[in-house]
Amino acid sequence: MALPRIAPGGETPRDVLALACDDVTRETLRQVAVQLGWPLNRVRDGGLVAAIAHLQANPAPAVLLVDVSDSEDVLAGMDALAEVCEPHTRVVAIGATNDVRLYRELIGLGVSDYLVKPVSAEVLAEALSEAEARERPGGPKSATCRTIAVVGARGGVGATAVATSLGWAAAHERHTRTVLLDLDLQFGAAALALDVEPGRGLRELLANPARIDSLLIGSALASVGDKFRVLAAEEPLETELSLRGDGLEALLAALAQDNQTVVLDVPRRLDALGRAALARADVAVIVTDLSLPGMRDSHRLLGLLGHLRTGETLVVANRIGGVAGEVPQAEFERGAGRKLDAMLIHDAKIAAAAAEQARPLLAAAGQAAPLGAELRRLAGRALGGAEAKAPAAAGSWLQKILGK
């Protein structure tokens, strides 16, 4: 494979910095730099430590290749690197460890690629060119990201359960890269419901939109699967939080670069962050029970959303049959001022299984339960397109590969 070359009259090359710990890799990088039209003085000696020291005193480049083979704790080193990188820097890592788990963890942190030494000039050129193309204005853009905001009409109606099920459906049944973002930074339960430890940095991301970049986002994400990740926090209760909507706007824009679906679990208190989430979302989902307070507050939320947004809004009745003194459906719809879009029955056995196994309701419901069928119908409405389908029975290894 020939090395890609700068087209005559093409764009001025973007700023790049490449650091390698060994002579062989540096020489290969110099060959690539000549082919790509990058200055040779941007290829330097060093690894993670040198990269961090350089960026502490100089602006971060658009594309950074860093040799991590000098670091005893690569992930901790990448966290430190994220602190000195600027927004939109694309990082390509190179190292001596051929470890699939390390590769996945680095990709999960937001690294564009991880290459194992020895690396040919062709492979290096391809990785750096792809990283540069993703950063260059007018270059390849990610597919449109669909944002879904889920809010409870009152406490305890199961909004988080619905949000986790929608995220799970997007990742596992639509096979899209999905982030579940819990905006209740002190009492949020999304990470707990999925049995993952919240990552670090969500508050900092929301409070400092100018510092948002893929590495900082990656360090804050917790993985639930290959395509499903959670962005959550457990801020101290003594801390007074006051976050503006512009941080969320910047974070959603950054998440849209690498994901096709973002599900927002919005706290009911509706501070500036919550209102920004509802205004920004492509689809808003109000979750309620069939109680009188649920009817009243669904009506109030619908009025608020009518002022905040013009996109689609869905109203979901949850835990039907599980609340004493339920309002009949027809009366509820008259009081709320619109029809219900989904009716999720209360299934104590499925709810208990979901809690015990730390799985979303949709995953615990399986393929035959009425609750699972209605959740999939709701996911089809919220995610757009066809109704989400239950996973097919396991087939051969070849079928699984072809299915991907």
Higher pLDDT, 152 or 101: 152
Query: Which residues make Cβ contacts (< 8 Å) with residue 57, sequence separation at least 6?
Result: none
- Going from the C-alpha of 306 to that of each of 301, 309, 311, the distances in angstroms are 8, 6, 9
For residue 143, the model assigns a pLDDT of 52
Query: Which residue in 74, 79, 127 sits closest to 97, CA to CA?
Result: 74
For residue 178, is pLDDT > 90? yes
* Residues making up the chain, counted from first to last: 404
115: part of which helix (H) or strand (E)? strand 113-116
Window from 1-5, 105-109, 261-265 with minimum mean pLDDT: 1-5
Domains of the chain listed by start with CATH number: 16-135 (3.40.50.2300), 146-383 (3.40.50.300)
Q: Return d(Cα 140, Cα 212) in angstroms, integer.
A: 21
- Report in angstroms the alpha-carbon separations of 169 from 176, 267, 394: 9, 21, 18
CB neighbour list of residue 278: distance below 8 Å, 6 or more residues apart: 149, 151, 266, 270, 284, 304, 305, 308, 309
pLDDT of residue 385: 60
Burial of 109 (C-beta count, 10 Å sphere; 0-12/13-18/19+): buried
pLDDT at residue 387 above 60? no
* Closest of 357, 365, 371 to residue 391, by C-alpha: 365
Q: Would you give the DSSP letter of residue 258?
A: T
| Whole-number pLDDT of residue 400 | 34
320, 326 in Cβ contact below 8 A? yes
Report the percentage of the chain scoring pLDDT > 90: 50
How much is the pLDDT for 109?
75
Nearest in space to 233 (alpha carbons), one of 241, 162, 164: 241
Whether the per-residue pLDDT at 394 is higher than 80: the answer is: no
Please give the model's pTM, rounded to 2 decimal places.
0.66
**Orientation angle between helical segments 292-308 and 329-336, nearest 10 degrees:** 40
What is the pLDDT confidence band of residue 292, given thresholds at 50, 70 and 90? very high
pLDDT band at 170 (very low <50, low <70, confident <90, very high): very high
**What is the distance between the alpha carbons of residues 283 and 263, in angstroms, rounded to a whole number?**
10
In the beta sheet, which residues pair with residue 317? 288, 343
Give the mean pLDDT of 370-397. 70
- How far CA 233 is from CA of 93, 221, 243, in Å, comes to 28, 10, 14
For the chain, percent of residues with pLDDT exceeding 70: 88
pLDDT at residue 396, rounded to an integer: 34
Comparing C-alpha atoms, which of 234, 304, 239 is closest to residue 276?
A: 304
Q: Are 298 and 336 in contact (CB under 8 A)?
A: yes
Residues 64, 85: Cα–Cα separation, whole Å: 9
Residue 141's CB is within 10 A of a number of other CB atoms, namely 10
Beta strands in 194-291 (DSSP E): 221-223, 228-231, 261-266, 283-288
